[in-house]
């Protein structure tokens, strides 16, 4: 009986079309059964009824078909279905997508429009749609993502997770900022979801360690086009576990992968821990202990010197009040010709110090934004430099200046020990003598006396040519050049060093360079600034390093033992300055000095803010 009816349906429909009922004349919805009378050979009535459009009339989409008799006679032109009449949101997204630009319409993807069913967030449905046109090489389907999606894992990445459903943007130039950002941003969306990674037994270390790397910091600062992103190493679609022989991050393929950015990469170079975690003692013991040692150095140094600074600050404040009281009572001892100026530093010393100031501030201004890349202020500073590439160039220029003054200091030390005619004694006597910057027994006595003065147990000591804190500052340059300089060169020329050193040395160098730079900037902007400028005796700034001159009053008060030695040797007048620095000189260099102080203090607050807030 059913077979007979199905054969009679086209004839019945034809008769109905010749005599259209009232609903047709009034332009009402057409029952799909009527249309299927003719189109049943292409469209299954059961499948259409079960589809998402099954409750709609045919002319809900084919709006031109209001007169079936004209349709049968071919008098009604069939126009493209306007899906946007119902799907406004999806249409708006599609309109701005790359598919619309390529004239890919709804039906090009939704080819099963009459049998289309609600996808119920099943990613397998999306993949099935996309591979109709894409993934001819099946790279996605063979990847770890494609296989797990096919197995029904709805957490794994499908096409829409990276490219969206309808709002599919054009990547444009793959080397552009937008293109480079895309290949990392979409990966982070899932892999930074700790709960998702935990329930899928995926170690959630990659996003964190990437962001802590040089690559990740530049990405976070807004310059992804300058560094490698996730897809550069793992590819965009053919993502496989590192243990898979076909994976781009498998040890057998790492050299080729790294050479995409580092043309001269070697197998030794590839031993770099791309996602090495310095807090993982078991897996990365070398990184862990390097981090522990550097942190211990930071804590120990700052603990000792900040305590020294605070004690000096309070004791100096008390002493200044005592001096003010004596001055008011007229009990201050008068120093004859106390205003007379004496030379403390030569022009070469002043030039070297200016090089130190310029290079150090340049290194700090370009390096700290990279270390604290999560701060908006860091992004602002990078934009002032014109981008990460310019900042890197400035950083390296300042590094070259640092090597220049470091080598100059070594030459001056050699000259001091072996060639100077105005210093008595042989090289060993000069090395341990009062004009040497090498620590000696006297420094221990000075430190002891200074601590006693802090606690009101004795008078403030008078010093020789160099104080113990000045010697520490000078020798710190040598340690800094060993730690910061050597690690910086490794990071500057990774391919060169990677040809002879194992790649994990770059992980060690990164920790050392970062923490030692933090130690140097923190020490200079707090301890050194206080010892030199902010202590009550010198506030707001000691100008001696800019003009090389000190008054007799300051000479006697701070370096009385040096003055006494010069007097006994009869050479005091050799250091007398007949004519002081000019007004313009003082104005210019004091302005420079205060600007340097301001920049240093601003960077100090930046570091404190980063530690407190983040």
- How distant, in Å, are the alpha carbons of 97, 117, 165, 273 from that of 121? 21, 11, 11, 37
Structure pTM?
0.86
**Looking at domain 285-334+346-534, which CATH architecture does it have?**
Up-down Bundle (1.20)
| pLDDT tens per residue, range 312-368 | 999 999 999 988 887 787 776 778 888 999 999 999 999 999 999 999 999 999 999
Residue 221: per-residue pLDDT: 95
Tell me the C-alpha distance between 310 and 18, whole Å. Answer: 103
> End-to-end CA distance of the chain, in Å?
78
pLDDT > 60? residue 287: yes
Tell me the three state secondary structure of residue 340.
coil
Average pLDDT of 419-429? 93
Lowest average pLDDT, out of 77-91, 132-146, 441-455, 543-557, goes to: 77-91
| pLDDT tens per residue, range 488-513 | 999 999 999 999 999 999 999 999 99
CB 228 within 8 A of CB 261: yes
141-166 CB burial, b ≥16 within 10 A, e <16: bbbbbbebbeeeeebbbbbbbbbebb
What is the residue extent of each domain of the chain?
2-79, 107-231, 285-334+346-534
Residue 13: per-residue pLDDT: 45
DSSP 217-262: HHHHHT-GGGS--HHHHH-SS----TTSTT-TTSTTTHHHHHTTT-
Average pLDDT of 125-142? 89
Question: Could you tell me the two tokens for 519?
Answer: 């130690």
Tell me the C-alpha distance between 13 and 29, whole Å. Answer: 16
Residue 112: per-residue pLDDT: 83
Which residues, 6 or more positions from 405, have their beta carbon under 8 angstroms from its beta carbon?
Answer: 352, 355, 356, 359
Question: Could you tell me the two tokens for 306?
Answer: 């900040």
Tell me the C-alpha distance between 365 and 497, whole Å. Answer: 26
| pLDDT tens per residue, range 527-580 | 999 999 999 989 989 999 999 999 999 999 999 999 999 999 999 999 999 877
Q: Quick one: which of 237, 248, 262 has its CA closest to 163?
A: 237
The interaxial angle of helices 583-613 and 504-523, nearest 10 deg, is 120
Distance between alpha carbon 130 and the CA centroid of its chain, in Å? 35
Identify which has the larger pLDDT, 96 or 238.
238
Lowest average pLDDT, out of 112-116, 286-290, 482-486, goes to: 112-116
Question: Could you tell me the two tokens for 565?
Answer: 């030695």
pLDDT > 70? residue 22: no
Residue 326: per-residue pLDDT: 78
**How confident is residue 70, by pLDDT bands cut at 50, 70 and 90?**
confident
């Amino acid at each position: 009986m059913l077979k007979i009816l199905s054969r009679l349906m086209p004839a019945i429909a034809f008769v109905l079309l010749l005599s259209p009922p009232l609903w047709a004349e009034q332009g009402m919805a057409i029952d799909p059964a009527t249309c299927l009378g003719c189109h049943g050979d292409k469209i299954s009535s059961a499948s259409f009824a079960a589809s998402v459009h099954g409750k709609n009339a045919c002319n809900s989409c084919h709006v031109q078909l209001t007169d079936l008799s004209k349709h049968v006679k071919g008098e009604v032109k069939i126009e493209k279905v306007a899906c946007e009449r119902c799907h406004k949101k999806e249409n708006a997204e599609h309109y701005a997508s790359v598919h619309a630009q390529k004239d890919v319409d709804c039906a090009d993807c939704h080819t099963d429009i009459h049998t289309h069913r609600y996808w119920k967030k099943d990613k397998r449905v999306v993949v099935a749609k996309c591979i109709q046109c894409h993934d001819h090489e099946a790279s996605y389907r063979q990847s770890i993502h494609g296989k797990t999606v096919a197995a029904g894992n709805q957490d794994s990445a499908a096409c829409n997770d990276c490219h969206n459903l309808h709002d599919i943007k054009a990547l444009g130039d793959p080397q552009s900022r937008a293109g480079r950002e895309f290949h990392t941003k979409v990966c982070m969306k899932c892999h930074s979801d700790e709960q998702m990674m935990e329930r899928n037994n995926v170690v959630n270390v990659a996003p964190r360690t990437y962001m802590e790397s040089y690559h990740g910091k530049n990405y976070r600062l807004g310059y992804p086009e300058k560094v490698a992103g996730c897809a550069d190493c793992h590819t965009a679609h053919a993502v496989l576990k590192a243990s898979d022989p076909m994976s781009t991050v498998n040890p057998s393929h790492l050299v080729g992968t790294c050479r995409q950015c580092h043309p001269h990469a070697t197998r030794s170079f590839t031993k770099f821990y791309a996602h090495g975690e310095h807090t993982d003692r078991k897996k990365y013991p070398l990184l862990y202990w390097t981090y522990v040692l550097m942190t211990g150095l930071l804590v120990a140094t700052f603990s000792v010197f900040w305590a020294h600074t605070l004690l000096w600050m309070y004791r100096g404040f008390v002493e200044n009040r005592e001096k003010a009281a004596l001055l008011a009572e007229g009990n201050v001892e008068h120093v004859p010709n106390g205003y007379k100026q004496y030379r403390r530093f030569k022009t070469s010393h002043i030039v070297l110090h200016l090089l130190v100031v310029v290079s150090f501030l340049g290194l700090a201004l370009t390096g700290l934004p990279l270390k604290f890349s999560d701060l908006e202020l860091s992004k602002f500073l990078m934009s002032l430099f014109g981008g990460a590439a310019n900042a890197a160039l400035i950083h390296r220029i300042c590094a070259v200046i640092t090597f220049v003054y470091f080598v100059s200091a070594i030459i001056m030390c050699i000259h001091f020990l072996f060639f100077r005619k105005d210093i008595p004694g042989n090289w060993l006597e000069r090395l341990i003598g009062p004009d040497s910057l090498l620590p000696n027994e006297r420094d221990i006595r000075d430190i002891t006396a200074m601590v006693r003065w802090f606690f009101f147990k004795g008078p403030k000591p008078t010093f020789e040519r160099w104080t113990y804190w000045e010697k520490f500052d000078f020798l710190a340059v040598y340690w800094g050049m060993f730690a910061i300089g050597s690690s910086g060169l490794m990071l500057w020329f990774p391919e060169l060093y990677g040809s002879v050193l194992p790649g994990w040395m770059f992980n060690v160098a990164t920790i050392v360079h970062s923490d030692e730079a933090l130690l140097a900037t923190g020490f200079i902007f707090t301890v050194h600034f206080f010892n030199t400028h902010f202590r009550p005796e010198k506030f707001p700034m000691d100008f001696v390093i800019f003009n090389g001159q000190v008054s007799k009053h300051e000479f006697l008060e701070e370096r009385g033992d040096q003055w006494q030695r010069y007097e006994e040797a009869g050479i005091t007048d050799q250091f007398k300055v007949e004519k002081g620095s000019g007004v313009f000189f003082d104005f210019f260099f004091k302005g420079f000095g205060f600007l340097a102080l301001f920049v240093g203090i601003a960077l100090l607050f930046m570091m404190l803010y980063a530690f407190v807030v983040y």
